[in-house]
Each structure stands twice: as structure tokens, then as C-alpha cells.
Chain A
């Protein structure tokens, strides 16, 4: 597969992930993840290790499932009224990570509207992708928010990055 085709295929996959989140198709979203995947949003800039420092969240797929089930059971005050979200991805690069794995990096803009307020978060997203047939499974996803440190604080949101 040529470089351009690979890049295009990864981009289509990541756009698909973003769309599933934006359309609240959480069950399908989690199917993109390997059962042993790790999902990490650090709470420090250039955080080295989720086991040395607190995180905004650091979750397994089962915990992510609870996170989205909680939105689907419609009992969370945080998600009433429901948040509307757009994930924007850009500046995508794809690297071979050896084995059947790739590392994709992109800039992420997350726009959320709820309760008369529109908020923007910007960050850098990194995925470790495992080739599976013609598509991929996400083995790890990390999102580094530009404001991921103690000066911010207003980092409440219903829908994951």
C-alpha cells in the first residue's frame, strides 16, 4: 500500500471515529477499540506516565463503556440537556510503529454546546492503531489538551474526546 493510500485510509478511520462520537453512536464507537485498549487524557502538559500523576481520565474499555452507558441511561445531570459535540481533526501524520501497528497523530478541536454555552477545547491526539483486515482497531488513544493543567479546571464534559 502506498503512503498516500495508507494516510487516506487512516484518516477515513479517524473521521469515522469522530462521527460515531458526534452522533452518539457509542456502542459502535467502542467496537473500534481493542479489548485491552487504554484511553488516556493526561492532566499535565507532556505528562510521562499515567501511574505517576493524576489524569483527567485514564480508562480501560470497560470503564469507557460505563462512561457512555451512563449517557445512554439518561440519568446524569451533567448530560441534561444533552451536549452536542463536533470533533474536528487536522494535521494528520501516520507512522509505522512496527509489527502490525501504526501511530497516528492529529490536532483535535472539540466544540461542545450545552446549556446556552459553547465551549472549545484544543489538543493533540495520538492513536496506536492495529491493522485488522482492511481496517484498524484502536489499541491506545491519548489526548493532550493545551489546557491540561491545574490552571484550567473547567474540564467537565459528557462526551469523550
Chain B
């Protein structure tokens, strides 16, 4: 049944619009896969907690006194009230505001007022814990399923995205900073993940900001923020032949990354300004010249960890896609500081997010509008099938299978969409 929704070059519109399909995605993908919860640096001390959303569940990630982490469902074992309502904080114990049931940081029950009145006081429960919790280089993931591949195996070929981000830090660690932005759209969650590596759309969807930047060449000589904005907007205006020179890499497990395409000025991968030189020296001190050069040479834009993360290692930014309903999605955008790097480097990260990822930015706002138009358009049943055939056959097809198991295609191929749906089909079918 599910298999019949995905053909090699087309997918049935039910995958985007059918609430029953979304319920099945929650059960078979979001209750099984490793989902990003938070970064270790958000909960450095005992009692520190953050609220996060793992698929359909709200979860408290909390640092225990023994230094370990617990991921607890945010639901009192008694009447079901939400225990924590602040996005983050510090607590010695977790206490329900309703009848004051109180829990330790590992979720076990400390005490219950008027305990003798309950029918079986020996059987009163603590908070339920998410079955699996693992960190990869400081990035904390959890899974609602007790069984399944290890986190490292799940991340597979895209462990490299986290490796490169952390390796870029002269002190060897990264720290969350700068708060977070939230995008929201009335459309299916998969659209965000597909669009993030769709290299045909920028020249059309982002044309208004490309053209606006083209008529202001003076911006390229202005202050750092203006320059960064102009360079970022202009880069989206590459010709199709240039986009095709930005390879896409698809890895087993549904993961995909695209190479970088920011080449000019302040957004170039390597620069010779004094700040970058200081940074490079600090990195060489940590890694030695060869490894430092190799780390800086990794120039990728979006690294997509299936099902719902996009990491930009070079700019220290990450987007976590959180599906709320078949036609309702939020995306949290977060930033990481490279510990040990010059402070000025972090301005690039903040401005990257402000200029392209903020819901009010000249870039993301147009993408979100397009997702909503797709969602509304797909309500039409005039054609049950959605085309994803570009680059699947014919003259364009030049996919290359690599020794590491990845497949590489030209930038304008829809290989990533087909690849994501192959993985989707596998998880959804069983």
C-alpha cells in the first residue's frame, strides 16, 4: 500500500496532504528515528533543563546530579498536567503545579501529598523517560523506540556534518548561543527538507532579493553586515549551469548534503582578513597545519540529516523541522559558537541567520510562502502524482556512486527528493 505511493519519478500527493499518512509518519518515523533534542551546552549544570519537542511528544531534557542526561515526557504521572512550562531553566526537583507530585531529575517519584488516599501507594509512577538517549559530539538525540540502530549508525555518512562543525572550533567544543528563531508555515514538513537541497528554486523564488542586490553594487563596499547580506542574496542568482556545478551527495539512510556555493567576499570559505587569520592560527594550534587546512576545506551548505535536521557547519547554524500536523510545521533555527574562535566570527553566524533564516528575512519568507502555495495547490486532485523526475533519466543523468556509499549528482537534479522518499518508503512500510 505505502510502496505504491512512491514511484521512481513521482510521489502520490497523499504523502503531503492526507492526515492518516501524517499519523502513520508519527508512528513509524517520528516514534522510531533518532531525533535531535538539544545541545549539551544548553544544560551544563545539574538541574539545568530545556523543553524540546521530539515528534509528537514534548520532552524535558535535564542534567542530573550524576552528570548524566534524562529525557522525560512532560506529563505528570497523576492527572497528566504539563510539569514544565518554561522553555529552559534550572530545578532541583520537578514538581507538578496541580497536586504537587514531585519527581527527581531522573523522573523517579519523590513524594505525593496525601499519598495514603490512593488505591495502591506502592504502585505510584514516576515520570516516563524517553527510551533511548545518546550524544554525538555534544549533539543530544533521543528515540521513542527502545530498539533500533545506534545513533552513530543512524547518522551514518552525515556524522561528518557534526564532525566538521565541532572540528572548526579551536577549543574543540561548540556552544549554543544567540537564542533561536522559529519559522512556521501551513504546509507539510517534508517540503522544508526537500527545498533545502532544491537548487533550481533559488533563481526563481529568491529572484526579488537577487535583483534588489544587483541594483545596489555599493553594498559590496559597505559595512560587514551589508556586505554579507548583498553577497548572500547575490549568490542565489547563479545561472542553472552554475548551480549544476554544486554537487549533491545522497547517503544511505536518507541523508543528503550539498556543496557550498558562497564564494565571494565576507562569506567565502577562506579569507585573508586579520580576524580570519587569527582564527586560522588558533585552529592550526589545535589540529596542526594539515588537519586545520582539511577542516577549512570542507565547504558544504545544507547538510540534511533525515528525517528533520539541516546543519550548516560552515556558518554554525542548524534548523530542526518539527511537524505539528500534515499541513502545519515549525522550524527552529539555532546558532553555535566555535569555542576559542575570535568573537567577530560569531557575527557571521548571527547575521547569516538574521539575513536568510529569519521568518522576516528576504529569503526564508519567500520559501515559506511557496510551501503554503504547494500545500493549497495539492488539494486539487486533478493529478494524483507529483513529479520528482528531474535528473532521474535521460541526458542529465550522471549520478556517480562513491566508495563511501554515497551517490553524487549535479546540483539541479531532484535526486535528493527521490532519495528521501526511498528512505521514507522503507520506514513507512513496516
Contact = CB atoms under 8 A, between A and B. Distances in A.
Contacts of B330: 153
Contacts, number: 127
Contact of A53 (B179, B207, B369): B179
A82 B269 CA distance: 37
Interface string A40-65: 01011000000111111111101101
Contacts of A76: 208-209, 362, 365-366
Given A75-B207, A75-B208, A55 B354 contact: yes
Contact of B182 (A59, A67, A152): A152
Interface residues of A, number: 37
B417 interface: no
Given A44-B179, A63-B229, A155 B359 contact: yes
Nearest to A150: B182
Nearest to B344: A51
B218 A62 contact: yes
Contacts of B250: none
Interface stretch (B92-100, B102-110, B220-228, B288-296): B220-228
B226 A57 contact: no
11 contacts: A43-B181, A44-B179, A54-B178, A54-B350, A56-B360, A62-B226, A63-B225, A69-B211, A75-B211, A77-B366, A154-B184
B87 interface: yes
A76 to B, nearest CB: 4
A151 B374 CA distance: 25
A52 B362 contact: no
A78 interface: yes
A156 B181 contact: no
A74 B366 CA distance: 12
Interface in A115-161: 150-158
Contact of B353 (A44, A54, A62): A54
B366 A65 contact: no
Nearest to A160: B360
A155 to B, nearest CB: 5
Contacts of A44: 179
Contacts of A60: 222-223, 225-226
Interface of B: 87, 177-184, 205, 207-209, 211-213, 215-216, 218-219, 222-223, 225-226, 229-230, 233, 330, 332-333, 335, 347, 350-351, 353-355, 358-362, 365-366, 368-370, 373
Residue of B183, B208, B225, B361 with most partner-chain A CB within 10 A: B208
Contact of B360 (A75, A150, A155): A155
Contacts of B333: 54
Interface of A: 41, 43-44, 51-60, 62-63, 65-67, 69-71, 73-79, 150-158
A150 B362 CA distance: 19
A66 B416 CA distance: 32
A58 B179 contact: no
A73 B365 contact: no
Contact of B87 (A51, A62, A150, A152): A150
A96 B355 CA distance: 33
Given A66-B230, A151-B182, 8 more contacts: A43-B179, A43-B358, A54-B181, A58-B225, A63-B229, A70-B209, A75-B207, A78-B366
A54 B176 CA distance: 12
Nearest to A60: B226
B352 to A, nearest CB: 10
A73 to B, nearest CB: 5
Contact of A156 (B87, B351, B353, B359): B359
A156 B230 CA distance: 20
A115 B245 CA distance: 37
Nearest to A61: B226
A68 to B, nearest CB: 8
Contacts of B355: 63
B358 A77 contact: no
A73 B335 CA distance: 32
A134 B335 CA distance: 45
Contacts of A63: 219, 225-226, 229, 355
A51 B337 CA distance: 13
B129 to A, nearest CB: 25
A56 B229 CA distance: 14
A144 to B, nearest CB: 14
Contact of B180 (A57, A71, A75, A150): A150
B218 A54 contact: no
B361 A150 contact: no
Contact of A73 (B208, B216, B354): B208
A51 B360 CA distance: 18
A54 B208 contact: no
Given A60-B226, A156-B368, A156-B369, A70 B212 contact: yes
